[in-house]
Structure 1
Amino acid sequence: MASAVLLLLQLLLLTSLVSAAHHWGGTMNYAYKGRNPDGSYQISLRGKDTYDTCAYYHYWSCYTGNCGSATSRKLINIDSSTNTPSYESQWCQTETVETWRVPSDKPFLLRASSCCWITTRNSVSNWKLESLVDLGTRSDTGEPNRSPDIAVLPFVRIPQNCPRTYKLAASDADGDRVVCRYGNLPGVECDRCFLPSGFHLDPDSCTLRYQYTTANTYIFGLELVVEDHPRNTIDLFYSDGSSTRKYPLSANPTSPTSPPTSPLTPTPWWGWWPTTTTAAPATSPWWWMTPTHPGYPTSGSPLSKLPLQFAFLVDPAVPSCQEGLYLPQLVAPTPAEGERIMAEVNKEVEIRVRAQATHSAIQSLVVSGPANITKHKDTNNEFVLRWTPVLDDLGEHYPICFAVESVSGSSVYQSQMRCVLVEIRKEQIEATVTCTESTMKVEVDKTSLFGLQEDQLRLSDPSNTICSLDRHSNSSHIVAIVPLNECGTQIEEDDDYLIFKNEITTKEDNPNELITRKHLVEARFYCQYPKRGNVTLSFSAHRKNVTVWEKGFGTFTYQFEFYQNDQFEAKYDPNSYPLEFDIGNRIYMQLDASSSVNNTEMFVESCRASPYDNPNYHPTYSIIENGCGVDPTVQTYTPSNDRQFQFSMEAFRFIGLHDQVYISCTVMMCEAGNPNTRCSLGCSNSTRSSSFSRRRREAVVESGKHFVSQGPLRLKREADPRGGSAVNLNLNLVFVAGCLLAAVGMVCGVIIYKTKTSRVKYQPLPAYES
């Protein structure tokens, strides 16, 4: 009986080994996190592991030295995709964040090893990863040694006929020289320790070049190693009083190896499944071995050593390798390769990625980055990466790599891989943001604004008096209460959220000056509202009249209403909003201006339709531009006086998720009968209209432009065949009802300050510029 049970267990183990082909690659970084009260050391291990599910991770075990043990472990999903080779259903990259308690700061080795990779064309089967950790205090910085910051996409693909260069993310906060080589210790660093034909690896620049090889259903399993070496001879000092000397690399392959120190005492290690271990030679440990690959720089043992393994697929040939045709081309506002992005603790950093392709459809974004990074696709077909550092990330550097994927039929194409480095610093400007159903309230501590006062700062668009920072600020805080549709607030949308953004920035003393020597502050903030939820409170969406005071024109009020027919006598009851129309029904609208000054007339320069009551939303649908009707169904009527504008158009809806629209118009007042006003010009696409605004500085003959809107309008819905009302709370209901949703997100955006002196006018800084 016992033998039968043993046989069954052996069969189960064999079955698990045979069916365990699920590994796609992995990397690892470590970071020193300080001393524990008992004098031991605390480090953080961050392992990025890619498998065919999101449930697995590498088990790191001690091989040599006094490694201590893990005290906590978190497994977080980073990214996953079903755009895979035909024999695999998906890949999933996770990050395992482990806290280790280490007894001393002496160097030690960690290994992760088991079976099996997914089927590879270069016969890589077992995964073999090894990391060298050395926490010795450096003589050049006076700080514990830090490992390189490395990253790569978990899965890379390219058509067979398209040579491409991949700059691997590998940098070092200590300023060390970082080299990337192919693994050369069988059973330790790699399973099949040679770079496949068709590839070239430049160790010193960490550049992998794909040149050419035939297409194949199966992937290459690439097994790279990243090391850092001092640029000058340094010493590492340890808490037990010992030290070791580290030498820089020599460019001469025949130069002698640096002198070894005492070898470390080996201890057992293990993995998930039984494997065979290969011990390091007793007389010449591996970390003094000279790599045998031609051109690899020699001399000097590494300070750290980390694995960098990933899957690479060569697809069938594409008709053209020119980026922007089949292969996606990364375009602005995508950050440049190697961009350094400054982030602050507890403040979300945002990276925007955009790509274009004329012969394939942009589909998705592949990303590898720190735990809790998220990706979204907005309505402008831009991908947005968001990540919020926490206090434990202070002082760290995190590489983020990404590529855009497009599809054409059954073919999938990847853009270039691009990597940026995010550096986390402490909070620079202390701010609190509160989101309500119709406003954003931001409070900024004045002590963090470098002495700037509210009269030196402004919102994105301060033209309306409600946007003045003087209204609510006090002796200790700059306070702004910003309506969601005023003060230059920008609106963005992705699959899950509506996001309203604004910023506090410095005023320019004189717009004609070419330079400024003030601190240029940008305090970006936003409110984020879920698009899905249940609203239980009723509301009135009818827009109120807009009252404006302007020098030379006194007080005047704009009224924008919808009417039931072309007689413009019976307007819709404000309580009946949102109004419902069938597609093709004619919508009748009237704008009316009342003024305290006689001899004035109103002019409607533009009208647009948008899913939101916000003039900054893009894209919008133009109805009237430059005083001219551009929608083919627009009809205008003769009003009773010069302060009215009457028009109609056929009802429509926006394609996509939007089931309602707002109509928004830009209007202005002019001196009646004056031939030198924009009103007198009427419909015009010429540049003459701009000359009128310049002439306005000499004599007040026309007002500024004002924004008025009305809505929402909604398409009538058919009755629900299951009975009851077919309530479809869509995007604009979220805009109107804001915080009545099940949840409201609030984040204070990235806050940046900078002093510039240049020959050009001040331009708003991108979020990633330091």
Structure 2
Amino acid sequence: MASTAVLLLQLLLVSLASASHLLGTSATYTYRGQNPDGTYKVDLHSRSIFKTCDYLSWSCSGSNCLNVVKSPSGVIDKNTNTPVTTCETETVFTTNVSSDKPFQMRASGCCWRSTANNVGSWYLLTEVDLGKRSDTGKPNRSPDIGLLPFLRVPQNCPRTYKLTSFDPDGDKVQCRYGKVSGTECDKCNLPPGFLLDQGSCTLHYNYTQANSNAFGLELMVEDFPQGHINLQYADGSRSYRVPMTARTPPPTTAPLSKLPMQFSFLVDPPAPSCQEGDFLPKLLPPTPANGAHFLAEVNKELEIRVKAQAKHATINNIIVSGPANISKHQTTPGEFVLRWTPLPDDHGQHFVICFAVEAVKPPAVYQSEMRCVLVEARSEKVKSHVICNESSMTVSVEKASFPRLHEDHMQLNDPSNTACSLQRHSNSTHIIAIIPLNACGTQIEEDEENLIFKNEITTVDNPGDLITRKHQMEVQFYCQYPKQGNVSLSFVAHRKNITVWEKGFGTFTYQFEFYPNNQFQTMIDPAAYPLEYDIGNRIYMKIKATSSVNNTQLFLESCRAAPYDNPNYRPTYSIFENGCQMDPTLQIHSPAAQKEFKFSMEAFKFIGLHNQHLMRVDIPKDNPNMTCQAVPLRSQSMVSNQQDHDPPSRPEHHASPQE
């Protein structure tokens, strides 16, 4: 019995440790209808931010509760600019209840990360009522709420935060501070220096002393009907709800639902200036306005572009809170792209996406204003499909999905080239466009991992018009190409010695290396790869034969470059051909021995491809592959050789000894 007690205690300690150091959390719910057995199904979407990618555990409280099933959590965002690295996750808790009567979801535990206002444990409450509303004929729908779970501001810079909320039933949404200790909150007191406007869900920061610990803020979100309604239950009973007015303030007026919203707010040391754009990042177009609405089609990617500037600090990050499968990418300094693809299960739902840009001037971190946008997921309207290949994009759009529109009144970004005409490839059922990656107004972008080629089909009033006042349709599309491939499939400048077996001569090997200058004394360490060269910079290379055969001399027969990682790609650019110099920048350097060949050339790029980072080992698509053939000379007839057995995508070398 004693050993059992010890085991239970250890398991409890592990459970507590797996959910510690909370920095913020929120929850919403979605009614999923009745199960075949007549029970009711509700999904609770819980977002939490911890030091590690952890999650909270929720339980159902009520006489009608049956079971709660947790779905795997997904990571929303990670941030290293915070005092400790943070990770926000989303977890779905599917709850089954036996009736449509109200029930509660609860979560509690220890501990918050050390807070400036001594919030220690967390207490979270969600109230759900599935009674049918008399105004909609359906159960109440949860408000959608949005907030970054970790906010920060210099102590001398007042700032206002609109805690974004949207109610799909058109109800009035209120944000208040938690009141019921041990159920809704721990400390239940708004810290000094902050003011909460409950009716507009607006938090005002005025001033308080900087603290290395963040404040823990514990809010509740509630929705109230715009008029008098009743909720009808399956057993025939009813309950009543009235609008929230000055004459019937809470708690006299019962809300339709309750949701928790708790977050960390860090007050940093003073900034040299509170002017946006100096140290605090200033959001610039095309960043959407706070509260902007977006429509997103199921299974099609939505793109939200964010741009910011800070004159005296370096913008290095964007923090985001939204659906679990959202992603963020930096395209250029100060510019970011958020991407999200709604899933079929998201159809008909609304989602709030919040973001802020961060800049650093060590040791300080400065955060921009927070903005949140609302996204409605809807079914596919225009049916289209994109195919990407090495040099072009092919997009097809079903004509039946946009009746009364014809390809004569549709065009790509730049239709001036006849090759870009939509009439050229379209047929009776589909609008078809084959767009070169470097024509028809195709725009190129890049992020950390990919090159992205974009274009769009838009409507025009009349063919050839420069402007339109109808703009009935817009189909944006792009092709994404990874900058780097698997090294086993890429041009590798430093390769293992290649052994070639020759009948009657034994074995010999040769090496192909890069050098930093024309002295050719110390080769570049392979650990420094991938190598990067600016266009026009000189690249120094040496091929060295280490054959044991005496009286041999190395001769470079051919050397070619290709823009793609494909040894069979044509056409190629010749650097040497049949021993002749083809590249005008080529220089041959005097060898130190007969079995060496030293040469150099200026770095170049292929037209129409990305213009940076030439000749990398794990190369992007825009960098050349080299295929070099080295042949030692001989006065006698050539003897047969055996080709090396490296993967065919690497450079192929052929050699024969000559006396």
> Structure 1-normalised TM-score?
0.64
Match of 1:91 in 2: 86
CA distance in 2, matches of 1:317, 1:649: 56
Residues 93, 300 of structure 1: CA spacing in aligned structure 2 closer, same or farther, 3 A cutoff? same
Whether the 8 Å contact between 1:159 and 1:314 is mirrored in structure 2 is: yes
Q: Tell me the CA shift for residue 102 of structure 1.
A: 3.0
Q: Tell me the CA shift for residue 535 of structure 1.
A: 8.0
2:248 aligned with 1:302, yes or no? no
> Equivalences for 1:84-163 in 2 at 5 Å?
84-85=82-83, 89-163=84-158
CA distance in 2, matches of 1:329, 1:175: 32
Q: Choose from 359, 367, 375 the match for 1:406.
A: 359
Match of 1:490 in 2: 443
CA distance in 1, matches of 2:464, 2:137: 48
- Among all aligned residue pairs of Structure 1 and Structure 2, give the percentage whose two residues are the same amino acid: 54
Q: Tell me the CA shift for residue 538 of structure 1.
A: 10
Match of 1:23 in 2: 22
> Equivalences for 1:20-99 in 2 at 5 Å?
21-54=20-53, 56-71=54-69, 73-85=71-83, 89-99=84-94
Residues 90, 472 of structure 1: CA spacing in aligned structure 2 closer, same or farther, 3 A cutoff? same
> Equivalences for 1:245-264 in 2 at 5 Å?
245-252=240-247, 255=248
Q: Choose from 440, 449, 474 the match for 1:522.
A: 474
Q: Choose from 180, 183, 186 the match for 1:185.
A: 180
2:294 aligned with 1:341, yes or no? yes
Greater shift in the superposed pair: 139-148 or 491-500: 139-148
> Equivalences for 1:624-643 in 2 at 5 Å?
none
CA distance in 2, matches of 1:716, 1:118: 47
Aligned AA (1:53)? T
Structure 2: state its 5+ residue gaps. Answer: 492-532, 540-562, 565-583, 587-601, 627-648, 650-659
Residues 36, 11 of structure 1: CA spacing in aligned structure 2 closer, same or farther, 3 A cutoff? closer
Whether the 8 Å contact between 2:605 and 2:624 is mirrored in structure 1 is: no
Residues 334, 715 of structure 1: CA spacing in aligned structure 2 closer, same or farther, 3 A cutoff? closer
Match of 2:213 in 1: 218
Q: State the Cα deviation string for residues 712-761 of structure 1 (Å, max 9, x = none).
A: 989997xxxxxxxx83413514999xxxxx9xxxxxxxxxxxxxxxxxxx
Aligned AA (1:191)? D
Whether the 8 Å contact between 1:198 and 1:211 is mirrored in structure 2 is: yes
SS in 2 for 1:732: coil
Aligned AA (1:208)? L
Aligned AA (2:266)? L
Match of 1:583 in 2: 537
Greater shift in the superposed pair: 186-195 or 102-111: 102-111
SS in 2 for 1:120: coil
Q: Choose from 526, 533, 541 the match for 2:485.
A: 533
Residues 536, 198 of structure 1: CA spacing in aligned structure 2 closer, same or farther, 3 A cutoff? closer
Whether the 8 Å contact between 1:434 and 1:442 is mirrored in structure 2 is: yes
Match of 2:629 in 1: none
Q: State the Cα deviation string for residues 47-97 of structure 1 (Å, max 9, x = none).
A: 00111100x211111122423323451200001112222xxx311100002
Whether the 8 Å contact between 2:536 and 2:604 is mirrored in structure 1 is: no
Greater shift in the superposed pair: 135-144 or 158-167: 135-144
SS in 1 for 2:472: strand
> Equivalences for 1:507-586 in 2 at 5 Å?
507-509=460-462, 516=469, 518=470, 520-534=472-486, 583=537
CA distance in 1, matches of 2:585, 2:257: 69
Q: Tell me the CA shift for residue 425 of structure 1.
A: 1.3
CA distance in 1, matches of 2:18, 2:382: 54
Aligned AA (1:185)? V
SS in 1 for 2:332: coil
RMSD: 3.4
Match of 2:494 in 1: none
Match of 2:238 in 1: 243
SS in 1 for 2:473: strand
2:619 aligned with 1:729, yes or no? yes
Match of 2:392 in 1: 439
Residues 25, 322 of structure 1: CA spacing in aligned structure 2 closer, same or farther, 3 A cutoff? same
CA distance in 1, matches of 2:87, 2:204: 25
Paired residues, what number? Answer: 532
> Equivalences for 1:227-376 in 2 at 5 Å?
227-252=222-247, 255=248, 290=250, 299-376=252-329
Whether the 8 Å contact between 2:213 and 2:266 is mirrored in structure 1 is: yes
Q: Choose from 459, 465, 472 the match for 1:506.
A: 459
Q: State the Cα deviation string for residues 363-421 of structure 1 (Å, max 9, x = none).
A: 10010001100000013531100000011111101001110010001100100011111
Whether the 8 Å contact between 1:78 and 1:372 is mirrored in structure 2 is: yes
Residues 520, 242 of structure 1: CA spacing in aligned structure 2 closer, same or farther, 3 A cutoff? same
Whether the 8 Å contact between 2:60 and 2:95 is mirrored in structure 1 is: no
2:345 aligned with 1:455, yes or no? no
> Structure 2-normalised TM-score?
0.75
CA distance in 1, matches of 2:135, 2:167: 14
Whether the 8 Å contact between 2:108 and 2:123 is mirrored in structure 1 is: yes
SS in 2 for 1:347: coil
RCO greater where, 1 or 2, for CA within 8 Å and sep 6 or more?
A: 1
Residues 323, 464 of structure 1: CA spacing in aligned structure 2 closer, same or farther, 3 A cutoff? same
Match of 2:568 in 1: none
Q: Tell me the CA shift for residue 138 of structure 1.
A: 1.4
Q: Tell me the CA shift for residue 335 of structure 1.
A: 0.2
CA distance in 1, matches of 2:436, 2:625: 11
